[in-house]
Structure 1
Amino acid sequence: MDETQHGAPSRRQIMGGVTAGAAAMAAAAPAFAQGGAQGSSQAGSSATATATPGPLVQPRDPRGVYPKPPFIRQPQDWPGLAGQMNPRPDHGETSYRGSGRLAGRKALVTGGDSGIGRAAAIAFAREGADVAIGYLPQEQPDAEEVLDLIRKEGRKAVALPGDIRDEAFCRQMVDNAVRELGGLDILVNNAGRQHTLPSLDELTTEFFDWTFKTNVYAPFWITKAALPHLKPGASIIITASVQAYEPSAALFDYAQTKACNVVFAKSLAKQLAPKGIRVNAVAPGPYWTALQPSGGQTQENLEQFGGDTPMGRPGQPVEIAPIYVLLASQESSFTTGQVLGASGGSGNP
């Protein structure tokens, strides 16, 4: 990227941002009250175990900073809303603190209304980027919260509702993002479809196609549309999964698409490195997002979700947001074709 177009910071500012950024990655999450999901509250309530973040350098025991299972059953229709989860996920609404690491950058995040995409969008804005988010129209309530948080940081927020299974919409979404943001230099292909089915007999061609269109075709269409607008210094990030390495029996189609996402990053990185554009993937483990109660897990599995990790709990979206910031920032300028994992001590890479 041509830094003269975005107000290049001084050396002192850069070094200060790196130091603060390292601290933020070390401790981006607040101390959480335990047992926030336990008790007799009804599914769909907005109960949250919140706390004021302590100093970023304060060490915390990672096993106990967020709620652990058992969680209550809380079925939602697809695609689900974070605002109806109990406890509500922490996307960094109050806990993520930026340090200007993405000042002047322009980002498009698909699935930016909730979950990991929402956490990345909030973090990008706190780091100084203008952000466009793609999401399904049914997710408008969650999206409004994110857009408001971006604007409160003094950054431009762009809403791009639509279905990425439609190739024409994917092209339109990118064009609108570029026009509204005045350019594009960070692309996060994060939106995903996951639906657990215990038997191959239950997996219809319609469902199989739905998963692949969302998780594999859409990133291809979106990235292809974005490439003419990306200049040297740009970063492309795709959300893969530990399912690419340790597939679950009940996520037969989803796991295949996540393996595709890993190869997407590794292959495209080789194509685009000569153009100065980096491509990487993130492979999350179990994270407490709206994907899970809306079909990503059975309600029985949801009760103990994340309990089988060495940490004994699922991750919160804010805990993985710093990885997206790192991959988007100039600090990782020699990192491309990589897959960074965050799974609470289990899974690969």
Structure 2
Amino acid sequence: MQRTPFYIKHLEAGAKMVDFAGWEMPIHYGSQLQEHHDVRTDAGMFDVSHMTILDLEGADAKPFLLKLLANNVDKLKESGKALYSCMLNEQGGVIDDLIVYYLTDTKYRIVVNAATREKDIAWMNEQLKPFNATLTFRSDLAMIAVQGPNARDKVLGMMPAHEVAIAEPLKHFYGAFINDWFIARTGYTGEDGFEMMFPATQAPKVWDALLAAGIKPIGLGARDTLRLEAGMNLYGLDMDETTSPLTSGLGWTIGWQPAERDFIGRKALEAEKAAGVQQRFVGLVLTGKGVLRSHMKVVCSQGEGETTSGTFSPTLKESIAFARIPAGTETECQVDIRGKLQSARIVKPNFVRFGKSVLDV
């Protein structure tokens, strides 16, 4: 079992530790529900050091990413700008979803998922062979996310003035280097905040400083309810190598233009589109009894589908889910919960933003 540089700090904070993709990680520190509300109303910190940080450098770094990723890195013109993308196989299935930060035309930083690390690095290195660039796994770095309406103010309040001058002006989905740190205004909760990467040797000191600033530790349990409320997919549940972005609510991440860019999986996606996409990715709000979970059967007017992620939303106080259902289905469906069909409303797969419901927006 692998451990992050914050492991001892988790134990000191009273964490209940669990196995997550081969990592010993905190599921909660006493109350998953309270941790969820802490992030929605104040600020919380998440150890995300199990995520994989990769640096791509070389003359062919951009051409490589133009081939590798479904989204178009040529859109990135300003240093620090981030792009969310899927990395596809030839069949259009999602190998992983990731964030790539543009530093220069010959240097990028990429963050991929923990559970797919070995698969991702092997795939990327195989595709890299014809290109003049190198991929470096930054195992020397730790990563922590601070999220919530007060997250930025609390983090900026810890910084000296010359660092604040770099971090404070960052727009959403931008990052910047501050000495040997990389700080980005990104996250996985639907709240504002920062994700920070820094030398792993500094992790205990950073944790203590964040605690002293009134930022509470948050476990994987609340991270999952927060991301689901925010309409953010989880790899392995909401998409994988058997599903395409077009059936995973990620059509917006495909960079179709220019038409001559031949990214991996493009031909398969074009064929799927031309034939008519058979499924749609939606949000569900349960109006019947029970709690929505993953892999529940969904009965629709056009046939059957399945929930991919589901939970009770602490913010909305309703049961919510993502689901993959037949195209053409209208606004209502039923979900099989323990052998009984319960009614659900079909909505956009996005429930909460900045602490507020977006269901009827």
Band of TM-score, shorter chain: under 0.3
Q: Which has the higher strand share?
A: 2
If you compute each CA radius of gyration, which structure gives the higher value, 1 or 2?
2
> Which of the pair is proportionally richer in helix?
1
Question: What TM-score do you get using the length of structure 2 for normalisation?
Answer: 0.27
Report the TM-score when normalising by structure 1.
0.28
